[in-house]
């Protein structure tokens, strides 16, 4: 592919300054008599020449097309295994590699294009088939197209008035997600929020309001000491939420998990009774469907039995594992989710919807509205001419709310439920392949026994020099340093990225996760070889 742009004197010039893949379109100006007589005018113009400038339409289209060409080249490059995942530089280096400072004077549009190229040059290629660093990886082409459209529509979810289609699509999609959870006829409520942490916070807020509605007006001083329960392996957002909501982190009681990371129901019940004996009021249990590190699924049926027995709100944090509900082969791992009062489910993780896309689903209708509404009369006027039940903004904590729905909806349309299912099943197959490959391989040790439930594969790589150390403490001390060094080398070579962390008394280990639809069996093979290549001398 080559992008050519012709200068006014009709000499063909190479437009592309970045050395990126060439692009096979020629630009033909409408007002020129022959093809290939385009002008490089974007180079010499400023933002003020673009729309809404009165003759800004051609300049705008040319400018935006230039940006799109940069993006298209970046996308194609990102999927290419010959490309680096990252061109890493230390913060101080990167600060000096470009002029990032903000100025008083405007820059030319040419400079803007250069800034776009520089930004992408140092960006992580999250679409890269060997990018495994987070729970959200990959770049979906239909999702991306939808996000571009969302930006272009540039509106706000708070009322039907300003986002008619998006509000309807949110309604349709939330209903579908509730059906998949198993709530009859998809009844209930929900919202797309800015991430799983906020979705979990909403759940805690609703649970508190359900039990003590007076807390909205009177605050925590009007209610007894509340306590929440979650597994020791749960996401930190449960504690963060408790701190913010004025409940306090000490009122989040961490329940023991078994060796594979699942909450132990007997310990939950014991701690509930203990709390009650102290006069505290248990109001919220957050079960995790897919823990961040181990990918464990808490036993939802047993937990829901306990929640019912003690009349406690049951939340399922399925930010990571909720998407397995789309898979007929794997959804049994969430059996019991239909008994929950609320569910967090982030399509931006396992379903590869572009960031951000997180849903909170709530079984009881109307509760969110009652909990959060403030009746702002300048936004939710009651004398509007349409059905006001579509003005959903007052049930949110946010006032303005970004449109996160369209990318999920359009991807769902493009893939169908079965397309998502196939994508998820494939990621789980890849992780099983990785697990089978390393579980008995020399130099590897699994962090916990048994086949992973989600795509998380947690393991230590022991370089030859450590492998046969006799002193256990010494060995642990060395091993703790291995993963960080291998990770740093991965980033410096730019070949792949995978996360590591300690957990409890377990020293640093790799947590491999696969949510990237671009990954293949060969990429898993590559990862193993790369860890060994980068770690063998340690």
Among 8, 44, 141, 426, binds a second copy (CB under 8 A): 141
CB 141 within 8 A of CB 78: no
Q: Does 123 bind a second copy (CB under 8 A)?
A: yes
Q: Which of 89, 50, 82 is nearest to 67 (CA)?
A: 50
CB of 237 to a second copy, least distance (A): 6
* Token output for 520: 């293949």
CB of 7 to a second copy, least distance (A): 18
133: Cβ contacts below 8 Å, ≥ 6 apart: 124, 497, 498, 499
Query: Is the CB of 265 or the CB of 322 nearer to a second copy?
Result: 322
Q: Give residues 220-279 in contact with a second copy (rule: CB under 8 A).
A: 220-222, 225, 235-237, 239-251
CB 313 within 8 A of CB 210: yes
How far apart CA 242 and CA 153 sit, in angstroms, is 36
Query: Is the CB of 339 or the CB of 511 nearer to a second copy?
Result: 511
Q: Does 14 bind a second copy (CB under 8 A)?
A: no
Q: Give residues 310-329 in contact with a second copy (rule: CB under 8 A).
A: none
Q: What is the 3-state secondary structure (H, E, C) of 89-116?
A: CCHHHHHHHCCCCCCCCCCCHHHHHHHH
Among 9, 55, 279, 378, binds a second copy (CB under 8 A): 378
CB of 342 to a second copy, least distance (A): 16
Q: Give residues 38-57 in contact with a second copy (rule: CB under 8 A).
A: 46-48, 50-52, 56-57
How far apart CA 329 and CA 383 sit, in angstroms, is 49
Q: What is the 3-state secondary structure (H, E, C) of 368-419?
A: HHHHHCCCCCCCCCCCCCCCHHHCHHHHCCCCCCCCCHHHHHHHHHHHHHHH
Report the SS3 class of residue 513.
coil
CB of 340 to a second copy, least distance (A): 21
Query: Is the CB of 277 or the CB of 440 nearer to a second copy?
Result: 277
Q: Does 385 bind a second copy (CB under 8 A)?
A: yes
Q: Does 521 bind a second copy (CB under 8 A)?
A: no
Estimate to the nearest angstrom the gap between the alpha carbon of 459 and the chain centroid.
23
CB of 456 to a second copy, least distance (A): 11
Among 8, 10, 153, 266, binds a second copy (CB under 8 A): 153
Among 149, 266, 273, 301, binds a second copy (CB under 8 A): 149
Binding mask 342-371 for a second copy (x = CB under 8 A): ------x-----xxx-x------------x
Transcribe 114-154 into DSSP letters: HHHHHHHHTS--TTSTTEESSSS----HHHHHHHHHHHHH-
Query: Is the CB of 412 or the CB of 459 nearer to a second copy?
Result: 412
Query: Is the CB of 160 or the CB of 304 nearer to a second copy?
Result: 160
Q: Give residues 417-476 in contact with a second copy (rule: CB under 8 A).
A: 417-419
Question: Tokens 């970004």 sit at which residue?
Answer: 402
Q: With contacts defined by CB under 8 A, name the span among 261-269, 297-305, 308-316, 482-490 that binds a second copy.
A: 482-490
């Amino acid at each position: 592919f080559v992008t050519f742009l012709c200068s006014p004197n009709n000499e063909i010039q190479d437009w592309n300054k970045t050395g990126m893949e060439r692009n096979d379109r020629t630009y033909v100006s409408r007002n020129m008599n022959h093809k290939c007589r385009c002008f490089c005018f974007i180079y010499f113009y400023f933002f003020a020449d673009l729309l809404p400038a009165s003759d800004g339409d051609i300049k705008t289209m040319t400018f935006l097309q230039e940006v799109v060409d940069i993006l298209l080249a970046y996308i194609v490059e990102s999927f290419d295994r010959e490309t680096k995942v990252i061109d890493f530089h230390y913060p101080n280096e990167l600060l000096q590699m470009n002029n990032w400072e903000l100025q008083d004077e405007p820059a030319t549009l040419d400079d803007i294009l250069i800034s776009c190229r520089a930004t992408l040059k140092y960006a992580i290629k999250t679409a890269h088939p060997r990018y495994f660093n987070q729970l959200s990886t990959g770049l979906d082409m239909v999702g991306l197209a939808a996000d571009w459209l969302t930006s272009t529509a540039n509106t706000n979810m708070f009322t039907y008035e300003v986002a008619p289609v998006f509000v309807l699509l949110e309604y349709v999609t939330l209903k579908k997600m509730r059906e998949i959870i198993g709530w009859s006829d998809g009844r209930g409520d929900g919202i797309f929020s800015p991430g799983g942490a906020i979705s979990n916070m909403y759940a805690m807020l609703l649970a508190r309001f359900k039990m003590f509605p007076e807390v909205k007006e009177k605050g925590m001083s009007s209610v007894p000491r509340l306590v929440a329960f979650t597994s020791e392996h749960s996401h930190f957002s449960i504690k963060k939420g408790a701190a913010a909501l004025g409940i306090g982190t000490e009122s989040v009681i961490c329940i023991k998990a078994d060796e594979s990371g699942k909450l132990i129901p007997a310990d939950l019940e014991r701690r509930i009774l203990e709390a009650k004996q102290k006069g505290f009021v248990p109001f919220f249990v957050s079960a995790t469907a897919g823990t961040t590190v181990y990918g464990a699924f808490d036993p939802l049926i047993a937990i829901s039995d306990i929640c019912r027995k003690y009349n406690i709100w049951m939340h399922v944090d399925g930010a990571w594992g909720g998407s397995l509900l789309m898979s007929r082969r794997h959804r049994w791992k969430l059996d019991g989710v239909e008994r929950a009062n609320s569910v967090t489910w982030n399509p931006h993780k396992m379903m590869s919807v572009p960031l951000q896309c997180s849903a909170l689903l709530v079984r009881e209708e109307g509760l969110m509205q009652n909990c959060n509404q403030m009746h702002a009369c300048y936004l939710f006027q009651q004398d509007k001419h349409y059905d006001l039940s579509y003005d959903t903004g007052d049930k949110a904590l946010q006032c303005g709310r970004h449109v996160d729905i369209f990318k999920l909806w359009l991807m769902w349309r493009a893939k169908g439920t079965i397309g998502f299912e196939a994508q998820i099943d494939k990621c789980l197959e890849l992780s099983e392949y990785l697990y089978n490959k390393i579980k008995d391989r020399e130099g590897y040790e699994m962090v916990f026994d048994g086949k992973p439930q989600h795509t998380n594969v947690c393991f230590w790589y022991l370089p030859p020099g450590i492998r046969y150390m006799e002193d256990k403490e010494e060995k642990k001390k060395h091993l703790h340093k291995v993963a960080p060094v291998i990770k740093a080398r991965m980033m410096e070579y730019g070949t792949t990225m995978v996360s590591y962390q300690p957990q409890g008394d377990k020293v640093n280990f790799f947590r491999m996760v696969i949510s990237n639809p671009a990954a293949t069996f060969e990429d898993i093979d590559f990862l193993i070889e790369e860890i060994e290549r980068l770690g063998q001398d340690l």
